[in-house]
């Protein structure tokens, strides 16, 4: 409950999701890699009698793990779990919007007995702390999840420094594809709606495009819109809330700007599209659906992340 609360306070996701999804998945990740520690086997390759070929598994060294703000704790565990299990030291750089669970995780790690210096948390801005890790000569690998723009920077930081290994997960514009012979349109519509609206749409593989056979398009779209209207937008600390707040005003403004761009480029706004609950001071946006979107439009080409 403490970790779930920190996630919700940091980035506005519903407390019910933080408690039932983020925290259990984080614990499962750590448990899985703990089990993997004694199963990292070296290998002897099959060779002729005159040669010996060996594959040795050894730590790469110091791993910098730079994580985004949409799933702060889970993304951290996805990165530090395997890195620690393989014997590396880790420097975790949480997003500046959501550092709370990372700091608490470091406290728990120290309490659990992880030696000093093996798991470290460095907070700060991407353009300072993140860049410093990317350029550091004693960092042997960087793993980054975030925008394509910043991913390219980490590749350049590697080139400018020690050619450290770089593992990137950057951006997405994932489609849901629904064919005319779909066996259950209601179930598919629910999946499509949750696929884009879950976590306020702040998901790298959110189903942000919907490609539907023309024969069923109108019926299917109405079903998706109907599901979207059942998702309660509100206080993230209310267990009944299904959609919380955008992580920041900047992100809210970005999403609202894309909604405006979609309308100006000729897409038809079918549902939502407005900021709500503004009197609370929170960054809330209605579930939003456009129709008749051309693949040339920016809302079809660019990751909105909301």
Render pLDDT for 174-210 as a digit per residue (tens, 0 to 9).
999 999 999 999 999 999 999 999 999 999 999 999 9
Tokens 């909105």, residue located: 304
Cα–Cα separations (whole angstroms), residue 11 to 93, 96, 283: 16, 11, 11
Q: Which residues of the chain have pLDDT under 70?
A: none
Phi, psi values for residue 213, rounded to 5°:
-55, 135
Res 95: pLDDT: 97
175-301 is a CATH 3.30.70.1520 domain: no
Would you state the CATH architecture of domain 2-170?
Answer: 3-Layer(aba) Sandwich (3.40)
In the chain, domain spans: 2-170, 175-301
- Chain centre to alpha carbon of residue 270: 27
Strand bridging mode 209-212 / 175-178 = parallel
What pLDDT does 133 receive?
98
Q: Which residues are catalytic?
A: 169, 204
Tokens standing for residue 73: 């704790």
pLDDT tens across 9-47, in order? 999 999 999 999 999 999 999 999 999 999 999 999 999
């Amino acid at each position: 409950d403490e970790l779930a609360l920190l996630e919700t306070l940091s980035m506005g996701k519903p407390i019910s999701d933080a408690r039932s999804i983020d925290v259990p998945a984080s614990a499962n990740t750590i448990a899985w890699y703990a089990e993997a520690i004694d199963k990292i086997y070296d290998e002897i390759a099959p060779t002729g009698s005159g040669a010996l070929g060996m594959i040795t598994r050894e730590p790469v060294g110091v791993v910098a793990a730079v994580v985004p703000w949409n799933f702060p704790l889970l993304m951290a565990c996805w990165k530090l779990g395997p890195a620690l299990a393989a014997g590396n030291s880790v420097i975790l750089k949480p997003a500046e919007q959501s550092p709370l669970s990372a700091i608490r995780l470091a406290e728990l790690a120290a309490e659990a007995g992880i030696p000093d210096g093996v798991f470290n948390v460095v907070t700060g801005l991407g353009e300072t702390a993140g860049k410093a890790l990317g350029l550091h000569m004693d960092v042997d690998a960087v793993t980054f999840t975030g925008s394509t723009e910043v991913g390219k920077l980490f590749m350049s930081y590697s080139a400018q420094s020690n050619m450290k290994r770089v593992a990137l997960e950057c951006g997405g514009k994932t489609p849901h594809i629904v064919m005319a012979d779909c066996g259950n349109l209601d179930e598919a519509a629910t999946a499509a709606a949750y696929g884009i609206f879950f976590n306020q749409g702040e998901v790298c593989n959110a189903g942000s495009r919907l490609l539907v056979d023309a024969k069923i398009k109108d019926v299917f779209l109405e079903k998706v819109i109907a599901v979207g209207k059942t998702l309660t937008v509100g206080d993230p600390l209310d267990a009944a809330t299904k959609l919380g707040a955008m992580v920041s005003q900047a992100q809210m403004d970005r999403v609202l700007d894309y909604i405006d761009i979609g309308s100006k480029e000729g897409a038809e706004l079918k549902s939502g599209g407005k900021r709500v609950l503004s009197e609370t001071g929170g960054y809330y946006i209605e579930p939003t659906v456009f129709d008749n979107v051309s693949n040339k439009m920016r809302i079809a080409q660019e990751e909105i992340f909301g």
